[in-house]
Chains A and B, each alone.
Chain A
Amino acid sequence: MILARILPAGVVGLILFFLAFPIVVVAIVSFSSATYLTFPPPAFGLRWYEAYFSNPDWLKPTWVSIWVACAVVVLATFLGTLAALGIARLPKAMRVVAAGLILSPLIVPGIVVAIGIYYAYSRYGLVGTPIAMVLAHTCLAVPFVVTSVTASLSGIDPRLEQAALSLGATPGATFFQVTLPLIQPGVLVGALFAFITSFDELIVALFISGTGAVTLPRRMWDDLRFQIDPTIAAVSTLTIVLTAALMGAAHLLRKRAERNRMATSSAAA
């Protein structure tokens, strides 16, 4: 009896441990005092964080990544929200085709997308520029925004827009005073995912970042190949913390949107 209860819990625990172990190791190593990557570390210290924050070879790619990600957030959120609104108004058969096309960067293998982008951009001399990174990452981020905005649009009662129109609101006023506030959580979640998508992206960066637009993941990749020291553990830990914080924010936003939706649909019951 007791075994039957403990066994599933044990299995789940093992799976979680298996998933989290690499992250935990990296985090522990980042606080190491040793000059080489070793586990367990002989003693603890913050020297590798110091090394990161004082080395322009690390800080510059970090800024590039942040700027690219922010530009991607603006572009992808704007385009993705408009696309989601447009798709929702298409006839059903066309909606499936349009959604499929927009989601294709998620379905096509990353390496294929990267090669395609590389060939296309090199024709226009874009390779190695931050603009190329922004455009390429926007293509990858738009599907996340569309998915998230479409989900919040589908939760809106279409009669709310009709109600606004019947009360004398023009289509423009209806959008800004009713539709946009209601899909706002979905838009914000999409924006967060757009940031993470760009900030963590490596494959496309390997092909098109060149020497002029080296992003943080690209810098980490180079570091691993050529000189490996515990700085990379510190950088990884910081990246994990930032990504986890953004995911947490996205989750909270979703929860809030869900609560609102339940409140309105309870009126129907």
Chain B
Amino acid sequence: MISAGTNGADIGRGASVTLSDLEKTYDRASAAPKDVDRVSLDIRSGEFLTMLGPSGSGKTTTLMMIAGFETPTAGDIAIDGKSVVAMPPYRRNIGMVFQNYALFPHLTVEENVGFPLKQRGVPKPERARLVAEALELVHLPGYGARYPRQLSGGQQQRVAVARAVVFKPRLLLMDEPLGALDKQLRENLQLEMRRLHADLGITFIYVTHDQEEALTMSDRIAVMNDGKVAQVGTPEDLYDRPENRFVAGFIGESNFLPAVVRGVENDVVIAECDGAVIRALCPGRPASGEKVTLTTRPERLRFADSAWIGEQMPQNCLSVTVTEAVFAGERCRYMLQAGDGTSIVLKEPSSAAIRRRAVGERAEIAWSVADTILV
């Protein structure tokens, strides 16, 4: 379990985790919705997977079930193919970083980091060496004799990470570990987490409600809503190809255009929206005449008369009226209204060379078919 050195380059240092139809209901008697509802996820060895969702979406409960602090009502959790549902948390050999770190206030940094080694009966000299190595890894060498209360929030966070990885677990769980820190520090530590993940090569499961954090750090993101997985995919997948309205609205900003399907051409849907023909990408094959919602990102819309727009891509066009114009430094943000009353947000990179629009002005907007998704 405890191997010497951190650089042993064996393949699959990380555990694979499989959640199959995982369910958790706290209140069995009532017909209340399940806290975790048939969650199935395949987390690959060495992956950085983030569970992202609003509070109450079931992400922390799912994490607690993987750690062993909650028992699933139904379904299975397998680590490296072996079910761990019946295994108590202290046998699972999983590292965990808690919200607010949960450092032991009565122990020094060294004793905190050495705690898991002590439980595993690692002899003292070996323990001291591994603790020093772990503190080195989180850039806190020489802090061993201090007590947690003598450290800043960011330092405590690093100690918590050192303590969670010192016993070389193959899986590290993190429950909003950066939530209590200020923005600047959070951004630094996000990069540090990525570096740590690359250094250790173990599997990370990370829980957060902060979409920016999830997009920056993760290999894949599982977006959770109402106890269910709304979509799993790479940050690009989720941003460019949201599969449903929740994901489109939760990650980044989205415009939603009501439309009626007129036909399908290859994997492009032809729809009618406010009298204009709009083409959108769609994996499914909606029936003609079906009422649907199309989504597109504000920064991917352009005013059609802007000189530099690319002509090679098929474009969607719509006539709108400017209802609000805000200059925000690096970009201009326009609120537009289509003929049918739909509000549309358009973000344009600011440049002295681009003419700014006035409120009340009529305009044509255009955007790529590739940036239009049917949800």
| Chain A proximity of B84: nearest CB distance (Å) | 13
* B-side interface size class: 35 or more
Taken together as a complex, chains A and B put the C-alpha atoms of A163 and B67 apart, in Å, by 10
Across the interface, which residues of B come within 8 angstroms of A267, CB to CB?
100-101, 103, 148-149, 153, 156, 180
Say if the beta carbon of B99 comes within 8 Å of chain A. yes
Tell whether, in the assembled complex, residue B115 and residue A165 are in contact, meaning their CB atoms are under 8 Å apart.
Answer: no
Across the interface, which residues of A come within 8 angstroms of B180, CB to CB?
267-269
Taken together as a complex, chains A and B put the C-alpha atoms of A261 and B96 apart, in Å, by 23
With A157-B102, A159-B102, A178-B104 in contact, is A166–B149 under 8 Å at CB?
no
Tell whether, in the assembled complex, residue B149 and residue A162 are in contact, meaning their CB atoms are under 8 Å apart.
Answer: no
Say if the beta carbon of B163 comes within 8 Å of chain A. yes
With A157-B102, A159-B100, A162-B98 in contact, is A167–B148 under 8 Å at CB?
no
Across the interface, which residues of A come within 8 angstroms of B167, CB to CB?
167-168
* A-side interface size class: 20 to 34
Say if the beta carbon of A182 comes within 8 Å of chain B. yes
Say if the beta carbon of A160 comes within 8 Å of chain B. yes
Taken together as a complex, chains A and B put the C-alpha atoms of A91 and B2 apart, in Å, by 39
Tell whether, in the assembled complex, residue B98 and residue A159 are in contact, meaning their CB atoms are under 8 Å apart.
Answer: yes
9-residue interface stretch from B25-33, B86-94, B290-298, B325-333: B86-94
Taken together as a complex, chains A and B put the C-alpha atoms of A169 and B116 apart, in Å, by 7
Taken together as a complex, chains A and B put the C-alpha atoms of A171 and B88 apart, in Å, by 10
Say if the beta carbon of A170 comes within 8 Å of chain B. yes
Say if the beta carbon of B69 comes within 8 Å of chain A. yes
Contact of B89 (CB < 8 Å), options: A166, A173, A263, A268: A166
Taken together as a complex, chains A and B put the C-alpha atoms of A204 and B133 apart, in Å, by 62
Across the interface, which residues of A come within 8 angstroms of B116, CB to CB?
167-169
Tell whether, in the assembled complex, residue A166 and residue B90 are in contact, meaning their CB atoms are under 8 Å apart.
Answer: yes
| Chain A proximity of B145: nearest CB distance (Å) | 16
| Chain B proximity of A72: nearest CB distance (Å) | 28
Say if the beta carbon of A264 comes within 8 Å of chain B. yes
Say if the beta carbon of A164 comes within 8 Å of chain B. yes
A238-269 with Cβ < 8 A to chain B:
260-261, 263-264, 266-269
Taken together as a complex, chains A and B put the C-alpha atoms of A164 and B100 apart, in Å, by 15
A75-116 with Cβ < 8 A to chain B:
none
Across the interface, which residues of A come within 8 angstroms of B92, CB to CB?
166
| Chain A proximity of B100: nearest CB distance (Å) | 4
A 46-89 binary contact with B (CB < 8 Å = 1; else 0):
00000000000000000000000000000000000000000000
Across the interface, which residues of A come within 8 angstroms of B99, CB to CB?
159
Chain B interface mostly: loop
With A167-B119, A267-B101 in contact, is A260–B89 under 8 Å at CB?
no
Say if the beta carbon of B129 comes within 8 Å of chain A. no
Across the interface, which residues of B come within 8 angstroms of A261, CB to CB?
105
Taken together as a complex, chains A and B put the C-alpha atoms of A186 and B120 apart, in Å, by 30
Across the interface, which residues of B come within 8 angstroms of A166, CB to CB?
67-69, 89-90, 92, 94-96, 164, 173
Contact of B98 (CB < 8 Å), options: A163, A168, A170, A264: A163
Say if the beta carbon of A181 comes within 8 Å of chain B. yes
Contact of A162 (CB < 8 Å), options: B93, B95, B102: B102
Taken together as a complex, chains A and B put the C-alpha atoms of A157 and B92 apart, in Å, by 22
Taken together as a complex, chains A and B put the C-alpha atoms of A164 and B88 apart, in Å, by 12
Tell whether, in the assembled complex, residue A168 and residue B119 are in contact, meaning their CB atoms are under 8 Å apart.
Answer: yes
| Chain A proximity of B66: nearest CB distance (Å) | 11
| Chain A proximity of B192: nearest CB distance (Å) | 18
Across the interface, which residues of B come within 8 angstroms of A159, CB to CB?
98-100, 102
Say if the beta carbon of B355 comes within 8 Å of chain A. no
| Chain A proximity of B152: nearest CB distance (Å) | 9
Taken together as a complex, chains A and B put the C-alpha atoms of A263 and B152 apart, in Å, by 11
| Chain A proximity of B168: nearest CB distance (Å) | 12
| Chain A proximity of B116: nearest CB distance (Å) | 4
Across the interface, which residues of B come within 8 angstroms of A182, CB to CB?
105-106
B224-269 with Cβ < 8 A to chain A:
none
Taken together as a complex, chains A and B put the C-alpha atoms of A263 and B148 apart, in Å, by 8
A 140-172 binary contact with B (CB < 8 Å = 1; else 0):
000000000000000001011011111111110
Taken together as a complex, chains A and B put the C-alpha atoms of A164 and B101 apart, in Å, by 12
Tell me which of A157, A162, A168, A266 has the highest count of chain B C-beta atoms within 10 A of its own C-beta: A168
Across the interface, which residues of A come within 8 angstroms of B102, CB to CB?
157, 159-160, 162-163
Taken together as a complex, chains A and B put the C-alpha atoms of A204 and B148 apart, in Å, by 48
B20-59 with Cβ < 8 A to chain A:
none
Tell whether, in the assembled complex, residue B106 and residue A163 are in contact, meaning their CB atoms are under 8 Å apart.
Answer: no
Give the nearest-CB partner of A182 in chain B.
B106
Taken together as a complex, chains A and B put the C-alpha atoms of A159 and B163 apart, in Å, by 15
B132-149 with Cβ < 8 A to chain A:
147-149
Across the interface, which residues of A come within 8 angstroms of B67, CB to CB?
162, 166
Tell whether, in the assembled complex, residue B98 and residue A165 are in contact, meaning their CB atoms are under 8 Å apart.
Answer: no
| Chain A proximity of B158: nearest CB distance (Å) | 12
Tell whether, in the assembled complex, residue B101 and residue A173 are in contact, meaning their CB atoms are under 8 Å apart.
Answer: no
Taken together as a complex, chains A and B put the C-alpha atoms of A174 and B103 apart, in Å, by 13
Taken together as a complex, chains A and B put the C-alpha atoms of A1 and B297 apart, in Å, by 68
Tell me which of B89, B103, B148 has the highest count of chain A C-beta atoms within 10 A of its own C-beta: B89
Tell whether, in the assembled complex, residue A260 and residue B105 are in contact, meaning their CB atoms are under 8 Å apart.
Answer: yes
Known: A159-B102, A267-B148, A267-B153. 20 other contacts (CB 8 A): A159-B100, A162-B89, A163-B96, A163-B98, A164-B115, A165-B69, A166-B90, A166-B94, A166-B173, A167-B163, A167-B164, A168-B91, A168-B116, A174-B90, A260-B105, A260-B149, A263-B105, A267-B156, A267-B180, A269-B180
Q: List 10 A-B contacts (CB under 8 A).
A: A157-B102, A160-B104, A165-B88, A166-B89, A167-B90, A167-B119, A173-B119, A264-B105, A264-B148, A267-B103
